[in-house]
């Protein structure tokens, strides 16, 4: 069965600190996709990244980086030099490639508070 676990409910950091948000997933499929979305206080869901199961290369985009490790079924997200504007709830999500429906299974989210 599909499952996404974000064990960190809430994290508080001081501005300019680095922070890593953990995501662990379960799936029986060999083809799947992982995503991170940001939900700022305004409530919308903002797409951050998509990674397929065949591509374990880490990715960096500005202050954001993602570490995908199939061996531990993890897809962790690091924000370097955090800023107050990074304060939001971050969701990790999984979509199985062979199910034919492409629905997302979301984790419970991690609320990040960046303090000035």
Partner 1 sequence: EPEVTQTPSHQVTQMGQEVILRCVPISNHLYFYWYRQILGQKVEFLVSFYNNEISEKSEIFDDQFSVERPDGSNFTLKIRSTKLEDSAMYFCASSEAGLTEAFFGQGTRLTVV
- Whole-number Å distance between alpha carbons of 60 and 49: 10
Q: Burial level of 1, CB count in 10 A (0-12/13-18/19+)?
A: exposed
Among 107, 110, 112, 114, binds partner 1 (CB under 8 A): 107
User: Does residue number 75 form part of the binding site for partner 1 (CB under 8 A)?
Assistant: no
Q: How far is CA 34 from the centre of its chain?
A: 8
Site size toward partner 1 (CB under 8 A) is: 26
Q: Nearer to partner 1 by C-beta: 17 or 108?
A: 108
Binding flag, residue 78, partner 1 (CB under 8 A): no
Listed ranges 20-28, 66-74, 75-83, 88-96: which one lies at the site for partner 1 (CB under 8 A): 88-96
User: How many Å from the N-terminal Cα to the C-terminal Cα in the chain?
Assistant: 41
Q: Which is nearer to partner 1, 33 or 66 (CB)?
A: 33
52 binds partner 1 (CB under 8 A): yes
How far is Cα of residue 90 from the mean position of the Cα atoms in its chain? 6
What the block records as the tokens of 8 is: 């960190």
Q: What is the DSSP letter of 70?
A: G
Applying CB under 8 A, the residues found at the interface with partner 1 are 33, 35, 37, 42-47, 50, 52, 91, 93, 95, 97, 99-109
């Amino acid at each position: 069965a599909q499952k996404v676990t974000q064990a960190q409910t809430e994290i508080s950091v001081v501005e300019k600190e680095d922070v890593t948000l953990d995501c662990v997933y379960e799936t029986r499929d060999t083809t799947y996709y992982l995503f991170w979305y940001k939900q700022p206080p305004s409530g919308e869901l903002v797409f951050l990244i998509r990674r397929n199961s065949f591509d374990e290369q880490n990715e960096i985009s500005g202050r954001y980086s993602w570490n995908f490790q199939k061996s531990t079924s993890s897809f962790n997200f690091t924000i370097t030099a955090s800023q107050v504007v990074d304060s939001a709830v971050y969701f990790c999500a999984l979509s199985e490639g062979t199910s034919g429906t492409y629905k997302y299974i979301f984790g419970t989210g991690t609320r990040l508070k960046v303090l000035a």
